[in-house]
Amino acid sequence: MAGVVVVFDFDKTIIDCDSDNWVIDELGFTELFEELLPTMPWNTLMDRMMNELHANGKTIKDIEESLKTAPIDPNVITMIKAAYALGCDLRVVSDANQFFIETILRHHGLKDYFTEINTNPGYVDAEGRLRIFPYHDFHKSSHGCDLCPPNMCKSKILERIITSASADGKKRFIYLGDGKGDYCPSLHLSESDFVMPRKYYPMWELINSNPHMPKAEVHEWTYGEDQARKLLQLINKVAVNALLSAECKFENIPLSQNAGLTHLALRVPN
């Protein structure tokens, strides 16, 4: 569906774990991480932990190999490919980091299915150490949202996506997430949009504590197969409604103007 934009969180939504915790645990630095966690913001802590990994002989290759083992439901992989083939515009908005997300998506052959990845910057410096920085530099200024962590307000990213994606016509948005940081953007969707919180996770709990707050239609999910089925059902629902609307308009167009209509082909990434 060319008129559908699907926005995914990454951790515990596309993959079935927290990528930060996965790397720290897999490489054996959980104890130090938990010791430092009360002393600094999460994003700052992850940059510090990458320095600790480097200082203790862990390489970028070690980090990449640990990321490649992060769990992802095969149904989610199929879902992403199917949504793309149907013409949906797929985006990521995540409080993980660019290096982790791109490594995992590339490993599963999924990176090219996404129009953009909005996350905390991450790159390998000249010394071979992974550096992680905040999406919003909270040391310089506040993003002004009390609902979100200091380094990222997802609703501000979503607002930009909505504006840019709607420049060539009205779009319908589907937002999938699980965490507390996904609640804020869910409040910025319209009545014609959909929000898909993971059941029993913080986003779902916040929505259920005040179910009248989101304007969007809420569809909860529990695990990968459930997520895939419900997302594709929603895309199909939008497609059927669009076809019915187009049929009404089509009936009012002279036949000669319809001679050039052809079937739409499914997309595959370049």
Q: Catalytic residue positions?
A: 9, 11
Cβ proximity of 36 and 45 under 8 Å = yes
Q: Which residues belong to the annotated binding site for substrate? A: 20, 95
Q: Which residues belong to the annotated binding site for Mg(2+)? A: 9, 11, 178
**One-letter amino acid identity for 66?**
S
Of 137, 136, 133, residue with least CA distance to 125? 133
Q: What is the DSSP secondary structure assignment for residue 157, as one 8-state letter?
A: H
Cβ proximity of 99 and 123 under 8 Å = yes
Bridge-partner residues for 6, per DSSP? 90, 174
- The phi-psi region of residue 90 (left if phi > 0; otherwise alpha if psi is between -120 and 50; otherwise beta) is beta
**CB 31: neighbour CB atoms within 10 A?**
9
Give the orientation angle of helix 42-55 with respect to helix 19-26, to 10 degrees: 30
Which residues have a Cβ under 8 Å from the Cβ of 200 and sit 6 or more positions away?
A: 222
| Joined tokens for residue 167 | 């420049």
Of 21, 14, 43, residue with least CA distance to 177? 14
Cβ proximity of 93 and 9 under 8 Å = yes
Q: Which residues belong to the annotated binding site? A: 9, 11, 20, 95, 178
CA–CA–CA angle 187, 16, 83 (5° rounding): 65
**CB 246: neighbour CB atoms within 10 A?**
10
